Structures are given as structure tokens and as C-alpha cells.
Chains A and B, each alone.
Chain A
């Protein structure tokens, strides 16, 4: 199989972007965009190579995806166009700065201050699978870096807390959730379809809304989705 990687490169944030092509040939049926990129001098972020760390998010043929989760054999075109994510500042080539995601979680006080209660393991498990890859933010019509709305990338870690927190912490988290997630979410659910971890985003959202907005905290316990 032979593919041409058509990559939008730039030396740094200020430099003028330019396109460069690299040919990649392989007999490996399992080869991914990540495998191909590894053979180029292009700068990109990678770590696990098995869709478990969220590092390699980029725009592949105009669709945001994980490079290591996109098989070359499943791309119908011979030319594969690669661009950095657009919602985050570019550092170099396909490497972007997603620090805003960490900042949002700090701003929304995403942590426990008291002991977690037991129960709702299912919801906590699914929520904690979030990779912090940022693909959901990339496709969200309502997310902009620097805005009040922190998107599904904040909803998921918050719903981990919502599943497990003790009564004393409800107010703090509910307030942060309303401010950072609920009030900004337009329910387009574009995030649900793009999420490479296939988080049960809709159910997490419904349960978290029920708890934080409608004060129905018990609903987290009856979580049913299994994410695969």
C-alpha cells in the first residue's frame, strides 16, 4: 500500500505554514497514520500508539482523529491530508498547545476535597476513561479557548467526581459544572460521535445535568452504559 502524506507544516507559531508531501509505502495492513508519520521528520505528539493516551490528535483528511487510531488501509484516498488541530495554538508542524484544557480543569476546581463515597463505579469508570485528547473541543460549535465553556473534556472528569462525591461537596461541584459545562453546552453532541474513547457522553451528560442542575444526585448510581 502506498500513500502520500500531504502535511501542513510550519517551523513555529509565527512562521508561514507550507505544505510538504511524503510518500509512505508499507505491507503492514495494521499501519496507521502514526506509523507513517514516524517515518517523516515532521513534529507531532505521540506516546502510547494504541489510542490510550490522547497525544496524537490531529486533523486527518479534514476530520479530527487520533493518528494512531486511523488505519491507512481504511482511508480511501491515496493522498492523506494532515493538519494540526485548529482550536489550539500551533507550536510546530502538527504539535499544538492544549494547556487550556488543564487550565479549565483547575479553574473549575475539578478535584475531591473529601473522601469519595462508594457506589457508582460504572459511571466513574466510564468518565475516567477520558483521554484529554481535545477532539471533542475541536468539533464543538460552542467551545473556544479562553471562553467560559470548557466542553466535554471538562464534563468527563467532572462526571467522575459527580459519581463519587460526598454530600458536602455537591454545592461546589454543581456550581462549577453549571458555569463550565451546562450553561455553555448547545447539545449538538458532535463530541459524542468524534470521541475516540467512545465515552458514553450522552449518558454522562444526562446524569451530570440531573445531579448538578436538577439536584437528582442519586441518578448517578443507576448508570447503565458500558463504553464499548
Chain B
């Protein structure tokens, strides 16, 4: 085995990146694992409620077919059914694989126990209290470490992706920036993006990490990579603003029996109205996230999460960490008092457009995990993105190996080429682009982008609000003497607004007040792409489910 064959660069070391690295290494293929920060800091560690797979351990006769149907329905039919089929088909095996790596899934009498989650009729979500992401990450980090020691995975754990190197219409490598040594490095080989959601466009307004700055996506977009479905932005119904971000209160809280209500106005006894149960019946609190967030926003009243009915045992055994977190941040003991909540940005259904093999529109470039638009259509079900990241990473690695991306490098290219600081002609960005990102003027512009997007991409939109946001963005673009990176971010922000403007219907997480109905003719993916500084928008049909997939 030639461990020096490093023709693959994985950008991002969350669940998707780790899962891909492991899959390559298992086949003896060496990779570079490049991430802004070490894996322990990635957003995947924050995931709480659990991971979906039809293990059928709860005596409900759950099936893979139902997991498939729930995911398609939850995504309002915008996901590629063949991809969702592959995902749900593999889920059981992947969760068992994680179990074998020592993930402490909740068990009773030796058997994995699953909990209810939104948009799924059966108990299908495996979990470890409210720290499932952290537990999966700990296990995968260890598993990949073994290959690091064997020389198959080479870590670049404080390195920022800057841009692709494209030669003859193909990816020839990537330019990364070493935050510690403060130098650029040019790496050759194919590239797998696993760089997470685009939190940076909504700074301070998401439940996730500050490290997913969206700069990688902005650079790719500016280089002509196709993105898809950016208008589908997931607002999670139960979040709370805390200092610097939004705190998520996991859907597990409702999966274990939590209920949403508001206080009836004028009533002297402060009558609680459990509005979701009234409208949707018994399972109202576990409707998909798009439905609940829309109901809450339309309502326009303060909504509370009532967890006072949860049993002592539930708190102690399944949600002790969640209770502690709510107590710490909100000063409220959720076992005794209800918690005021509101919808907050949580997940990006849209992202880099990939096909079933996780290929992008540029040969040699692949994407997996939250940064890729795959599996979740117009609305992601809780518990499906941990699954999507682990599955997607693995699937991508396999298809890159099939595509021959990992062939040994040419002699002349096999060494890392270090650019002299700012002097290479291949590098068109200014010196300021490479420093730690903390320049005051740039931060101000970024803050304004967030404000504009929060208006234009609000949970309820219409032509007027989106156009107003576009106008402000244009003005900002003109006013700021934007450097390379910032210019790209402005472009990507524009792509979000254009995607929302052009989809004249309501579907999943995209609610247009001026087009409240779903339009069957728009059962298509939005594609945005940038060429010569201009954004082009088009639509693409959703593939049909192949018969062989249906047969399994």
C-alpha cells in the first residue's frame, strides 16, 4: 500500500468529513483532512436529539419504506427519491456501525431504544440523551485517528479553504490557508467539500457554530459552482436568543412529550391554548418543523414550550443534559416552568448542488453533509441530517474512488507547493484576505448582510419584502469597497434572495404570503450559478424513482 498517495482533499472534519476520510482509509486510500478547527469544535458536536434509522426495535413494525416515505413527504417532494432511497436503505447499517464504534446509544435491557421525532409516525430516532452529535463525533474521531497513525489520513486541523485550483475545466487542487503558520498552501488533487451550513450569512442568528463562516461556499459560488434550493432555510420552532446566538431546545423535548401553547388574551385565568394539538390532533407537537414554525410565526404571539408533564425518569435518564442547559442559560427549570420559545435559523436544506454520486457541476469537485443540497428537499426532518452527513460522506468517498479521483499524483504535482505570501499570480486576492477575519470594516458589512438577509429570508416572505432586501443589498455592494472574500459573500447573499424571489409558491420552509399555495408545476429544484459576476437562475426536474431502487 502506498500511503503517500494523497490525491484527495477533504474540506471539513465534522461528521461528513470524518465519515468520508474513514471510508477512503478503509480502502487503503490516503487523504488530507482539512478543517478550520479540529473536529472537536465542529458543529456536528452540537447535535442533540438523535439519528434516524428504521431499526424496528420499538414494537411498531417500522420499515425502511416508511422512513423513505416520511423523508420524501417531509421534504415536500423536492428531494431526489433515488438519493433518499439510498439514504434510508443504508440507515440501519450505519447506526449499527456507529454502535460498534462504541457510541453509547440509550439502551434498555441491552436493546437500543428509539424516540419520537417530528414528521415521523414511528419511534425511529436513536439517541444518547441530548448529546447524540457529541457521542457520534467522539467515536468517529477515534476511528479516524487510527488511520492518522497509519499515515492514511493527514490532518490539516487549523487550515481554511480559500478556493479551488481549476485547470482545463477540472479541479486540480485547492488553496488553503494555515492559520497558525500564516501561509498559503496549494494542494493538488480532487476536492470533497464537507464544510457545513452557511451560518456566517446569518451571523448571531443561528443555533450553530461561528466557524461555519460560509466563506468556503462563497468562494465556490464565485468560481461558478452550481448551488440549489437556497430559499429553503430551516427555522427550528423551539429556539431562544441568548448572547451571541440562538440556543436550540431539541426536538427531543417534544419527542418525549413536550407541548407548545400560548396564553389566551384577555382571559383572567391565563388559559393555555395548545394550538397545535387543536389544529393537528394528538401529534400536533410533532408536525414537521416547517409546519410548526409557520404556525408560530402566523400566530404572532409568544409561544411557550411546556415540559412540566415529563416524568422524573425521562428527565433523569434521557434529558438530564437538556434540563441543565435550559436552567443555565435561561434560569428556568423546565421541569417546573414553561419556556418561552421562537423559531430560529437552524439548518440549510439548500447548498452545493450534487447528483446521486455527490458530484457537482465541476469534475473533481464533490460535496457531502450540510453544505450539499441532498436528501432533505424543502424541509429536513429532525434526525435525518446526522444520518445524511455520515451517509453522504461515505457515499461520496465511494463514488470518488469509483470515478478514479484518487489515482496517484503526477510526479511534478505531488509535492505541496507553498505560495510566497501574496506574490503568486494565481492568487488574485489581496493581502488582507489572508489574515484572521477580524477587520472592523469587514465585520460591519457582514453584520449588514445578516440584517438584510434576516428581512428578505424571514419565515414569511413576499415579493415586496424580498425586493426591498435585494435593493439594500445592491446599495451595500456598491458602497463597500469589498475585497475578494467579501465580494463573494455579497454574491452568495444575492443568490439566496433571488432564489426566494423567483419561487412563486409556498412549499416546505419557503412561505410566500403572496403565493400561499403549493404549485405542482414548481416541483423542481432551483439552480443558481454565477458566471462573469452575473447570477443565473434556472429550474431542474426532480428525477423519478427508479424501479430497481423501489425493489431495494
10 contacts between A and B (CB under 8 A): A32-B243, A46-B210, A47-B43, A49-B245, A68-B244, A98-B38, A112-B102, A121-B128, A122-B104, A128-B135
Segment at the A interface, from B140-148, B423-431, B498-506: B140-148
Nearest-CB distance from B359 to chain A (Å)? 30
B520, CB-defined interface residue at 8 Å: no
Q: State which residues 294-330 of B face A: CB under 8 Å.
A: 316, 320-321, 324-325, 329
Q: Give the distance in Å from the alpha carbon of A34 to the alpha carbon of B245 in the complex.
A: 11
A10, CB-defined interface residue at 8 Å: no
A53, CB-defined interface residue at 8 Å: yes
By a CB distance below 8 angstroms, the chain A residues around B155 are 102
Sort A-B residue pairs by CB-CB distance and give the 9 closest, nearest first: A116-B102, A128-B138, A121-B104, A111-B146, A164-B102, A124-B104, A132-B40, A228-B324, A47-B41
Nearest-CB distance from B364 to chain A (Å)? 29
Segment at the B interface, from A36-44, A138-146, A187-195: A36-44
By a CB distance below 8 angstroms, the chain B residues around A129 are 131, 134
> Are A112 and B101 neighbours in the complex by a CB distance under 8 Å?
yes
Which residues of B pack against A, CB within 8 Å?
A: 37-38, 40-43, 45-46, 99-102, 104-107, 110, 128-129, 131, 134-135, 138-139, 142-143, 145-146, 148-149, 155, 157-158, 179-180, 182, 209-211, 242-245, 247, 316, 320-321, 324-325, 329, 436, 438-440
With both beta carbons as reference points, the residue of chain A lying nearest to B438 in the complex is identified as: A41
A125, CB-defined interface residue at 8 Å: yes
Q: Give the distance in Å from the alpha carbon of A111 to the alpha carbon of B343 in the complex.
A: 39
Nearest-CB distance from A135 to chain B (Å)? 13
Option from A12, A97, A98, A105 in Cβ contact (under 8 Å) with B182: A12
A76, CB-defined interface residue at 8 Å: no
Q: Give the distance in Å from the alpha carbon of A49 to the alpha carbon of B199 in the complex.
A: 13
> Are B245 and A125 neighbours in the complex by a CB distance under 8 Å?
no
With both beta carbons as reference points, the residue of chain A lying nearest to B36 in the complex is identified as: A47
> Are B107 and A118 neighbours in the complex by a CB distance under 8 Å?
yes
Option from A12, A55, A128 in Cβ contact (under 8 Å) with B139: A128
Option from B179, B321, B440 in Cβ contact (under 8 Å) with A228: B321
Q: Give the distance in Å from the alpha carbon of A52 to the alpha carbon of B325 in the complex.
A: 10
> Are A30 and B329 neighbours in the complex by a CB distance under 8 Å?
yes
Q: Given known contacts A121-B105, A157-B138, A161-B102, is B209 in contact with A48 (CB within 8 Å)?
A: yes
> Are B157 and A91 neighbours in the complex by a CB distance under 8 Å?
no
> Are A49 and B210 neighbours in the complex by a CB distance under 8 Å?
yes
A160, CB-defined interface residue at 8 Å: yes
By a CB distance below 8 angstroms, the chain B residues around A92 are 436
Nearest-CB distance from A136 to chain B (Å)? 14
Option from A48, A97, A111, A131 in Cβ contact (under 8 Å) with B145: A111
> Are B210 and A47 neighbours in the complex by a CB distance under 8 Å?
yes
Q: State which residues 35-69 of A face B: CB under 8 Å.
A: 35, 38, 41-43, 45-50, 52-55, 68
By a CB distance below 8 angstroms, the chain A residues around B182 are 12
By a CB distance below 8 angstroms, the chain A residues around B243 are 28, 30-32, 34-35, 49
By a CB distance below 8 angstroms, the chain A residues around B210 are 46-49
By a CB distance below 8 angstroms, the chain A residues around B41 are 45, 47-48, 53-55
By a CB distance below 8 angstroms, the chain B residues around A118 are 99, 107, 110
Q: Given known contacts A111-B146, A112-B102, is B40 in contact with A228 (CB within 8 Å)?
A: no
> Are A50 and B436 neighbours in the complex by a CB distance under 8 Å?
no
> Are A52 and B134 neighbours in the complex by a CB distance under 8 Å?
yes
Q: Give the distance in Å from the alpha carbon of A129 to the alpha carbon of B324 in the complex.
A: 14
By a CB distance below 8 angstroms, the chain B residues around A28 are 243
By a CB distance below 8 angstroms, the chain B residues around A97 are 158, 180
With both beta carbons as reference points, the residue of chain A lying nearest to B248 in the complex is identified as: A50
> Are A91 and B101 neighbours in the complex by a CB distance under 8 Å?
no
With both beta carbons as reference points, the residue of chain B lying nearest to A115 in the complex is identified as: B100
By a CB distance below 8 angstroms, the chain A residues around B37 are 45, 47, 55
By a CB distance below 8 angstroms, the chain A residues around B321 are 228
Which residues of A pack against B, CB within 8 Å?
A: 12, 28, 30-32, 34-35, 38, 41-43, 45-50, 52-55, 68, 91-92, 95, 97-99, 102, 105-106, 109-113, 115-116, 118, 121-122, 124-125, 128-132, 157, 160-161, 163-165, 226, 228
Nearest-CB distance from A97 to chain B (Å)? 6
Nearest-CB distance from B95 to chain A (Å)? 14
Q: Give the distance in Å from the alpha carbon of A121 to the alpha carbon of B107 in the complex.
A: 8
> Are A161 and B142 neighbours in the complex by a CB distance under 8 Å?
yes
With both beta carbons as reference points, the residue of chain B lying nearest to A46 in the complex is identified as: B210
With both beta carbons as reference points, the residue of chain B lying nearest to A12 in the complex is identified as: B182
Q: Give the distance in Å from the alpha carbon of A140 to the alpha carbon of B106 in the complex.
A: 34
> Are B102 and A47 neighbours in the complex by a CB distance under 8 Å?
no
By a CB distance below 8 angstroms, the chain B residues around A109 are 146, 149
Nearest-CB distance from B50 to chain A (Å)? 14
Nearest-CB distance from B366 to chain A (Å)? 25
Q: Given known contacts A48-B45, A106-B148, is B209 in contact with A116 (CB within 8 Å)?
A: no
Nearest-CB distance from A73 to chain B (Å)? 11
> Are B142 and A112 neighbours in the complex by a CB distance under 8 Å?
yes
By a CB distance below 8 angstroms, the chain B residues around A98 are 38
> Are B45 and A41 neighbours in the complex by a CB distance under 8 Å?
no
By a CB distance below 8 angstroms, the chain B residues around A102 are 38, 155, 157
Q: Give the distance in Å from the alpha carbon of A35 to the alpha carbon of B38 in the complex.
A: 22
Q: Given known contacts A97-B180, A132-B38, is B143 in contact with A112 (CB within 8 Å)?
A: yes
Q: Give the distance in Å from the alpha carbon of A64 to the alpha carbon of B497 in the complex.
A: 44
By a CB distance below 8 angstroms, the chain B residues around A115 are 100
Q: Give the distance in Å from the alpha carbon of A145 to the alpha carbon of B396 in the complex.
A: 37
Q: Given known contacts A35-B244, A54-B41, A99-B157, is B104 in contact with A128 (CB within 8 Å)?
A: yes
With both beta carbons as reference points, the residue of chain B lying nearest to A128 in the complex is identified as: B138
Q: Give the distance in Å from the alpha carbon of A69 to the alpha carbon of B393 in the complex.
A: 32
Most buried by A among B245, B316, B440: B245
Q: Give the distance in Å from the alpha carbon of A125 to the alpha carbon of B133 in the complex.
A: 12
With both beta carbons as reference points, the residue of chain B lying nearest to A38 in the complex is identified as: B244
Nearest-CB distance from A211 to chain B (Å)? 15
By a CB distance below 8 angstroms, the chain B residues around A116 are 99-102
With both beta carbons as reference points, the residue of chain A lying nearest to B106 in the complex is identified as: A121
With both beta carbons as reference points, the residue of chain A lying nearest to B139 in the complex is identified as: A128
By a CB distance below 8 angstroms, the chain B residues around A50 are 46, 242, 245, 247, 325, 329
By a CB distance below 8 angstroms, the chain A residues around B110 are 118
Nearest-CB distance from A58 to chain B (Å)? 15
Nearest-CB distance from A102 to chain B (Å)? 7
Q: Given known contacts A53-B45, A118-B110, is B142 in contact with A110 (CB within 8 Å)?
A: yes
Q: Give the distance in Å from the alpha carbon of A50 to the alpha carbon of B209 in the complex.
A: 9
Q: Give the distance in Å from the alpha carbon of A42 to the alpha carbon of B440 in the complex.
A: 11
Nearest-CB distance from A54 to chain B (Å)? 6
> Are A48 and B157 neighbours in the complex by a CB distance under 8 Å?
no
Nearest-CB distance from B319 to chain A (Å)? 11
With both beta carbons as reference points, the residue of chain A lying nearest to B324 in the complex is identified as: A228
Nearest-CB distance from A115 to chain B (Å)? 5
By a CB distance below 8 angstroms, the chain B residues around A161 are 102, 142
By a CB distance below 8 angstroms, the chain A residues around B436 are 43, 92, 95
Q: Please name 16 further chain A to chain B contacts, defined as beta carbons within 8 Å, in addition to the given A41-B438, A99-B158, sorted by A numbering.
A: A41-B439, A47-B210, A53-B45, A91-B179, A102-B155, A110-B142, A111-B142, A111-B143, A112-B101, A118-B110, A121-B105, A122-B104, A125-B129, A128-B138, A226-B320, A228-B321
